[in-house]
Structure 1
Amino acid sequence: MTERVVSASREIAAAAPEIFELIADPSQQPRWDGNDNLSQAAAGQRIRSRGDMFVMTNTSGKVRENHVVEFVEGRRVAWTPAEPGQTPPGHLWRWELEPLDDGRTLVTHTYDWTNLTDERRLPRARSTTADNLRASLDRLARVASEQG
């Protein structure tokens, strides 16, 4: 059986609050997306709490509403994407940050499709690997270092 929770971690040479800003501001996400799936998000959608929703357009032009289901400022955020006006089909993207010291943070990126119900999305879910997640972590590290 295919693993339905995929995760990757990496130490990033930046403070947790700086990294979290890049993740919690959807307009920044296309800069570091290692899957080359995110095209754009309007400014002004900074995630502030569980229950928030932000809108993103992917590279194929499809709009997704991302429903925030976990949120701890500076430490953790997770969302479930859905087609506009639809119930999320059950996959989740999570980011967790663990400050190591003032200038280093352990960042863990997880894709969880345990509850995915949309059969059309299963091939894409199965193809999402730790390497895909690591690519986002590597790009995030590069963007964070450019800003620092």
Structure 2
Amino acid sequence: MMDTTGGSRIVSAHRQIAASPDQIFALIADPSQQPRWDGNDNLAEAQPGQRVRCSGQVFSMTLTNGNVRENHVVEFIEGRRIAWLPSEVGHAPPGHLWRWELEPVGDTATTVTHTYDWSRLTDEKRLIRARGTTPEMLQASIARLAAIAEAQ
């Protein structure tokens, strides 16, 4: 299921996955796993050993275009929620946020919500791409994440 909430600057998608929150969160909170399930085909690689454990951490990711992004973790609840603000290396984040929320459904399933929030985006160069981020793109990441988590 997909929906757009909060006007056109917050895009979200959600789906139930037949896996525990811990299994799913392990794939999200480990940046080296993110290229495996990225539905936008935007993430190339991240060095291992960057597993997120708390707010305030920064992890680096190489994009498919070769650029490196620093991701500033601003929300973190182990097994339930993680959100980060991407930025160019050494720069302040321009204000767009990626969030993952996991809600257990019984013992063997989890509702996963993926949100892209660009309501505070200040970088004019990024507005076109932000506007082009659709619920279907977020759903593609959830679908890939589900395939991996459900196969474990």
The interval holding the TM-score normalised by the smaller chain is: over 0.9
4+ runs deviating over 3 angstroms: none
TM-score, length-normalised on structure 1? 0.97
SS in 1 for 2:136: helix
Give the root-mean-square deviation of aligned CA atoms. Answer: 0.7
1:8-87 equivalence runs, <5 A: 8-87=13-92
State the partner residue of 1:118: 123
Q: How many residues align?
A: 146
Note the C-alpha offset of 1:95. 0.1
In the TM superposition, what whole-angstrom CA distance separates every residue of 1:11-62 from its partner, at most 9, and x where no partner exists?
0000000000000000000000000000000000000000000000010000
2:77, 2:49 → 1: CA distance? 19
2:106, 2:47 → 1: CA distance? 32
SS in 1 for 2:27: helix
Note the C-alpha offset of 1:146. 1.9
1:59, 1:102 → 2: CA distance? 37
Identity among equivalent pairs (%): 66
State the partner residue of 1:133: 138
1:30, 1:38 → 2: CA distance? 5
Note the C-alpha offset of 1:110. 0.0
1:143, 1:61 → 2: CA distance? 25
Please state if 1:100 is matched with 2:105.
Answer: yes
Note the C-alpha offset of 1:101. 1.4
1:146, 1:36 → 2: CA distance? 21
Matched AA of 1:69: V
2:151, 2:78 → 1: CA distance? 23
1:103, 1:137 → 2: CA distance? 17
1:33, 1:102 → 2: CA distance? 26
Structure 2: where are the runs of 5+ without partners? 1-6
Note the C-alpha offset of 1:141. 0.2
Matched AA of 1:133: L
Note the C-alpha offset of 1:102. 1.4
